[in-house]
């Protein structure tokens, strides 16, 4: 029946590995956790799908018809069982295939459908392997993860907070890999950011270090959970909810607050009754006028997280070409732009220390830019001391990671940028 009498997938478990993973409790890095991670990874490189059972192989390549046929005819092994010395469940084997297979022969590659079939026929979503990784961990931990498979697992009652041998749930690895789609799905299904792993690492304390897109995804869900709302949470019409896909639909801003967005004049009119209670127009008291400087920045505009990820040897997306432009005189003067303002980086400090450090850091200019980088400038404190201090204080007290904030703004001329500092917008993915 099976292609292999003893299907091991090419994997072996050494006695040292067994000793480590059989240690009771969660494994801290220095108590063998790192050694086990390394051994697990090293051995995984020998994974060979042709050494799975024929059912395991059909799951790996997501051969929907063959998997279904074997289940119906009773040729499939028990679906709650595992294969290989790593004790991979059939859901995990399928997820592994989805991340490794480049070429899918005809009739295979139907990962979503095959996973749904397995789960509906009795394959449990959470079968821990030797390091207590579930299929959900595997489906969200890599840069090439497929979030749609994670969604299917979660819709079939996978435990989003299942802890692996190191005491961490799927969200930790998803944050570290910077996979926004995976982070988004895990947050949607209630991933906790408060669980300390065996090393005492708490995801909620550090997610702002993983870049603007990850931060925007996390904070969007944190706000939803707490029932709060921030202006410009998502790029969609504030009345009908139609989304800006970046091409056809051009959302127009409310001319007063310049943060509400509408797909049409009709939607804007219909929403006014509600919107007028929160619409805050640009006024002298809630805005500051800043004088931009277009001196050379000495390099491209790059999120701090990219430097950090590179330093940790983690994959980073290539910097888009338009990010490579430095400060420059703007070509147009839009009445309504969303700007990101970054205060000088003062290292990994607590919020209290950053506030205390502010006087020292204010020697350096703030950086201001739009998503498209069609407007990039510096704000130097000597040019506008009072306005600089007001903006910096707001960002250090209420901004993302005490380092940056997003605001509605108007570029009046190359020398005058009006920023509505009275209202901090939701974190934007740039």
What residue ranges bind Zn ion (CB under 5 A)?
237, 239-240, 254, 256-257, 260, 263, 267, 279
DSSP letter at 426? P
Q: Which is nearer to Zn ion, 237 or 366 (CB)?
A: 237
The rounded distance, in Å, linking the Cα atoms of 95 and 114 is 10
Smallest gap from residue 258 Cβ to Zn ion (A): 7
Q: For the residues of 258-323, what is the DSSP string, one character each?
A: S--EESSHHHHHHHHHHHTTT-----TTT-EEE-EE----SS----HHHHHHHHTT---PPPPGGG
> Nearer Cβ to Zn ion, position 281 or 349?
281
Tell me the HSE value of 69 on the side-chain side, using a 13 A CA sphere.
8
**Residue 272 or 333: which CB sits closer to Zn ion?**
272
- Cβ nearer to Zn ion, comparing 47 with 407: 407
Contacts of residues 274-283 at CB distance under 8 Å and 24 or more positions apart, as own/partner, are 275/238, 278/231, 279/254, 280/256, 280/420, 280/422, 280/423, 281/256, 281/257, 282/256, 282/257, 282/258, 282/408, 282/410, 282/418, 282/420, 283/422
Quote the least distance from Cβ 267 to Zn ion, whole Å.
Answer: 3
Task: Give 100 or 276: the residue with its C-beta nearer to Zn ion.
Answer: 276
State the DSSP code for 324: G
How far apart CA 351 and CA 110 sit, in angstroms, is 48
In the numeric block, which tokens belong to residue 237?
């019409």
- The CB-of-417 to Zn ion minimum distance in angstroms stands at 20
* Minimum distance from residue 253 beta carbon to Zn ion (Å): 8
CB 345 within 8 A of CB 402: no
Helix axes 351-361, 385-398, angle to 10 degrees: 160
Q: Which residues contact 210 (CB under 8 A, 6 or more apart)?
A: 175, 176, 178, 305, 309
In the complex, the smallest distance separating the C-beta of residue 251 from Zn ion, rounded to whole angstroms, is: 8
**Residue found under tokens 């009908």:** 240
**Exposed, middle or buried: residue 389 (CB in 10 Å: 0-12, 13-18, 19+)?**
middle
| Least distance (Å) between residue 281 CB and Zn ion | 7
CA distance readout (Å), 27 to 23, 31, 184, 362, 414 = 8, 6, 27, 43, 57
Minimum CB separation of residue 227 from Zn ion in Å reads: 22
Q: What angle do CA 152, 135, 65 make, to 5 degrees?
A: 60
Given the structure tokens 């292999």, which residue do they identify?
4
Which CB sits closer to Zn ion, 126 or 423? 423
Residue with tokens 């579930």: 134
Cβ atoms 301, 326 nearer than 8 A = yes
Looking at the Cβ atoms of 237 and 358, the one nearer to Zn ion is 237
Least separation in angstroms between residue 245's CB and Zn ion is 14
Nearer to Zn ion, 166 or 239 (CB): 239
Closest to Zn ion by CB, 39 or 237? 237
Query: Closest CB to Zn ion among 256 and 361?
Result: 256
Q: What's the closest the beta carbon of residue 239 comes to Zn ion, in angstroms?
A: 5
Closest to Zn ion by CB, 1 vs 240, is 240
Minimum distance from residue 257 beta carbon to Zn ion (Å): 3
Smallest distance, Zn ion to C-beta of residue 221, A: 24
First to last CA, the chain: 54
């Amino acid at each position: 029946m099976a292609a292999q009498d003893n299907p091991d997938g090419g994997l072996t478990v050494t006695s040292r590995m067994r000793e480590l993973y059989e240690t009771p409790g969660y494994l801290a890095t220095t108590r063998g956790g790192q050694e086990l991670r390394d051994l697990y990874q090293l051995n995984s490189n020998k994974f060979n799908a042709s050494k799975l059972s024929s059912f395991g192989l059909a799951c790996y390549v997501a051969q929907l018809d063959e998997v279904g046929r074997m289940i119906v005819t009773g040729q499939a092994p028990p679906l709650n069982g595992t294969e290989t010395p790593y004790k991979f469940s059939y859901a995990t084997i399928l997820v592994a295939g989805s991340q490794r297979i480049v070429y899918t022969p005809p009739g295979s590659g139907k990962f979503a459908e095959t996973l749904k079939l397995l789960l509906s026929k009795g394959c449990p979503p959470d079968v821990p392997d030797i390091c207590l990784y579930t299929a959900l961990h595997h489906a969200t931990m890599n840069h090439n993860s497929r979030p749609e498979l994670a969604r299917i697992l979660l819709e079939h009652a996978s435990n989003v907070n299942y802890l692996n041998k190191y005491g961490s749930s799927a969200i930790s690895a998803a944050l570290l890999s910077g996979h926004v789609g995976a982070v988004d799905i895990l947050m949607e299904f209630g991933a906790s950011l408060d669980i300390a792993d065996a090393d005492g690492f708490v995801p909620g304390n550090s997610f702002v270090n993983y870049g603007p897109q990850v931060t925007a995804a996390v904070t969007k869900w944190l706000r939803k959970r707490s029932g709060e709302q921030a202006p410009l949470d998502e790029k969609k019409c504030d009345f009908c909810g139609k989304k800006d896909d970046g091409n056809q639909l051009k959302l127009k801003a409310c001319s007063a607050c310049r943060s509400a967005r509408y797909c049409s004049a009709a939607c804007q009119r219909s929403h006014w009754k509600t919107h007028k209670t929160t619409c805050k127009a640009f006024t002298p008291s809630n805005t500051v006028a800043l004088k931009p400087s277009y001196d050379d920045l000495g390099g491209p505009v790059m999120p701090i997280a990219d430097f950090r990820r590179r330093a940790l040897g983690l994959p980073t997306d290539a910097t888009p070409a338009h990010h490579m432009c430095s400060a420059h005189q703007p070509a147009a003067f839009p009445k309504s732009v969303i700007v990101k303002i970054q205060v000088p980086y003062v290292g990994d400090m607590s919020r209290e220390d950053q506030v205390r450090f502010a006087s020292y850091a204010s020697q350096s200019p703030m950086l201001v830019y739009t998503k498209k980088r069609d407007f990039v400038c510096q704000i130097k404190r000597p040019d506008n001391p009072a306005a600089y201090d007001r903006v910096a204080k707001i960002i250090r007290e209420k901004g993302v990671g005490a380092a940056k904030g997003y605001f509605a703004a108007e570029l009046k001329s190359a020398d005058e940028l009006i920023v509505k500092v009275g209202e901090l917008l939701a974190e934007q993915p740039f």
